[in-house]
Amino acid sequence: MDDIVVIGVGMIPFGKHQNLSIYDMGRQAIWNAIQDADLDPRKIGHAYVSNSLAGPLQGLENTRGQFVMREAGFSGIGVTNVENACASGTNAFRGACLEVASGASDFALAVGVEKMLIGDNVRTLGAITGAASPLYASLGYQFTAGYAMKIKKYMAKYGLSREDIARVVVKNTYNGSLNPLAYQRTPRTLEEVLSARLVADPLTLYMCCPNSDGAAAAIVCRERTARQLTSRILPRVVACSLGSGRLPGTGDTSISTTTLVARSAYEAASIGPADINFVELHDAMAPAELIEIEELEVCQPGEAAIWLREGVTSLGGKVPVSPSGGLAARGHPVGATGLAQVAELVWQLRGEAGERQVPEAKVGLALNQGGRVDTEEAAAYCVTILKR
């Protein structure tokens, strides 16, 4: 899919939206994307709607995407409801790209919507966990614990301190403070992060992404189609690779699935990890960022904490990581997150990211993960690369 570009993106601020339904949020994100694309909405041929939790949390199953599109004023167009847990958003984006690349539609929309703050965090937690693995949920497993164990192991391997992992939050909450669409806009000091309530050792409160409401959308088309409409910068989708966790004992398990999917994305894009200018990561728990940029082979194993300490991954550094603030600062409305990542890549590549702009952003990568990423059980991994 060489010639697919993003012609417009839209998003609403992530956070608490007590008076907005998934339909209200979806409509706003969709119309923000349409206005951004400056496109006649009747040209959109198909919509991919990403939502993960409206079923278990609100009883809205199946054709909820048709309702989202209807409430946005669309009538008659095909709608595909896509689910891949926390990776649903980029999976919907991938669907929109294939829709255009196959010739089925000239313009396709991907929209992610999620309402998590239903006034019952215990129920929300149960739904997220159950979505990943009903068996483990019934055994008391939840995501924070899974990440905590993975991060502890990683810390032990490279002799990292609590300060080393807390520093991710200092960087990302600073980035988030510059992002008007982020949920958490207060920069945190190292001391604040370390002294915050312990959630699951070694993770403190500010290391964990907040349950959030939100929506984000993107519209894609062929480059030559877009060029007839606009002379603006059109970020090209040079890769959108999706993989699943592997069966235990198959292949080389010393290489993570994230690495395999990233390699396939680099190959599709005909680039290497050294060509990546900036990265948006799936830091559901902020310290996971360190593991993830190593898995993406953007830095060497064990190097991530050093890069962080030396400012390489800060906004002014060589490879800024999560300029948006990432999941822990921007918020993580599950089905919307992947499309917020795509929106951030687009804004950065167009040079429209304001105070958090990455200088000379040319190639951006987003990693979106879903399911039990600690054990890879039935998990989904999506690597998207956009290039200006």
67 lies in the binding site for a copy of itself (CB under 8 A): yes
DSSP 245: P
Binding-site member from 24, 36, 99, 283 for a copy of itself (CB under 8 A): 99
255 lies in the binding site for a copy of itself (CB under 8 A): no
Would you say the C-alpha torsion 259, 260, 262, 266 has a positive or negative sign? positive
Only segment of 159-167, 183-191, 198-206, 378-386 that touches a copy of itself (CB under 8 A): 378-386
CA-CA distance, 331 to 323, in Å (whole number)?
A: 13
Q: Which two tokens stand for residue 229?
A: 């409409």
CA-CA distance, 203 to 289, in Å (whole number)?
A: 13
- Count interface residues toward a copy of itself (CB under 8 A): 63
Binding-site member from 18, 35, 40, 63 for a copy of itself (CB under 8 A): 63
Would you say the C-alpha torsion 333, 336, 342, 348 has a positive or negative sign? negative
Shortest distance, position 252 Cβ to a copy of itself, whole Å: 11
Place of tokens 């005909």: 270
Name the catalytic one among 208, 221, 332, 382. Answer: 332
Name the catalytic one among 86, 240, 299, 382. Answer: 86
Angle at 315 between CA 309 and CA 319, to 5 degrees: 75
Site for a copy of itself, residues 110 to 129, rule: CB under 8 A: 127
62 lies in the binding site for a copy of itself (CB under 8 A): yes
263 lies in the binding site for a copy of itself (CB under 8 A): no
243 lies in the binding site for a copy of itself (CB under 8 A): yes
59 lies in the binding site for a copy of itself (CB under 8 A): yes
302 lies in the binding site for a copy of itself (CB under 8 A): no
Binding-site member from 16, 98, 106, 125 for a copy of itself (CB under 8 A): 98
CA-CA distance, 140 to 382, in Å (whole number)?
A: 27
254 lies in the binding site for a copy of itself (CB under 8 A): no
80 lies in the binding site for a copy of itself (CB under 8 A): yes
Q: Is there a contact between 346 and 218 (Cβ–Cβ < 8 Å)?
A: yes
CB-wise, 90 or 172, nearer to a copy of itself?
90
Only segment of 76-84, 115-123, 283-291, 308-316 that touches a copy of itself (CB under 8 A): 76-84
Beta bridge partners of 366: 280, 384
Would you say the C-alpha torsion 354, 359, 365, 367 has a positive or negative sign? negative
Active site residue 17: no
Binding-site member from 132, 200, 209, 296 for a copy of itself (CB under 8 A): 132
Distance between first and last Cα of the chain: 15
Q: Which helix (H) or strand (E) holds 145?
A: helix 143-158
- DSSP helix/strand/coil, 54: helix
- 232 phi/psi in degrees, rounded to 5: -70, 175
Residues in contact with a copy of itself by CB under 8 A are 1, 46, 52-53, 55-56, 58-64, 66-67, 69-70, 73-85, 88, 91, 94-95, 97-99, 101-104, 127, 130-132, 134, 241-247, 250-251, 257, 260, 370-371, 377-380
Query: Which residues are known catalytic residues?
Result: 86, 332
